[in-house]
Amino acid sequence: MTSFGYYFRVSRSPLSARAAMSAESPLGCLLMVILPLLLIISTYLAWWELRFFLQGRTALATVDGLQEVRVARSLWYGGSYLEVRYSFKDDAADRFRSEHDELPLSWPHPVGTVVIQYVSGVPGGSRLQGHRHIFSTIFFVVCVTGSLVYAGLLLREARRAVREEETFEASRHRKPER
């Protein structure tokens, strides 16, 4: 049994002892996958809010129809919403557009004409004025902040590892004092 222990000790690299001492949790590796994925998703969700902010125009639209849509409840989505169909003139593209917006049932039912926001020349790029998706913007800011904090922690750990490696190498190359 002692020969096996001796064999095991000889076959290990000098770095394996340090690796065994710093057994980190796999949370860091998991965050390296999850945080960029959340950042991509939140960027996509907040993109429209940015486009409406930068390129959005307002116009009067004629309400073509209202419909209460009931959706079967599922794990991620469920309930009912109000679908408002409207048409308006896209001045920049010089054409009429017919589109719709999905509102919570708590919104007042629009009748006649409504004020909308739209991105010119982009089909599906319109909404009733005031129907903002603030949650997606907040989610984006939280994800960017989390990514920056995580990158800072990752950089700090990388610098610590480099310092430890330099200290380790310096102690290996020192001559023993007599």
Please state which CATH number belongs to domain 55-131: 2.40.50
Domain ranges of the chain: 55-131
| pLDDT digits 0-9 by tens, 55-96 | 889 999 999 999 888 877 655 656 788 899 999 998 887 889
| pLDDT digits 0-9 by tens, 98-150 | 999 988 888 888 889 999 999 988 888 899 988 888 888 898 898 888 888 88
Helix 14-21 / helix 134-173 crossing angle, nearest 10 deg: 140
Cα separations (Å) of 43 from 36, 77, 131, 136, 151? Answer: 10, 21, 19, 8, 18
Whole-model pTM: value is 0.62
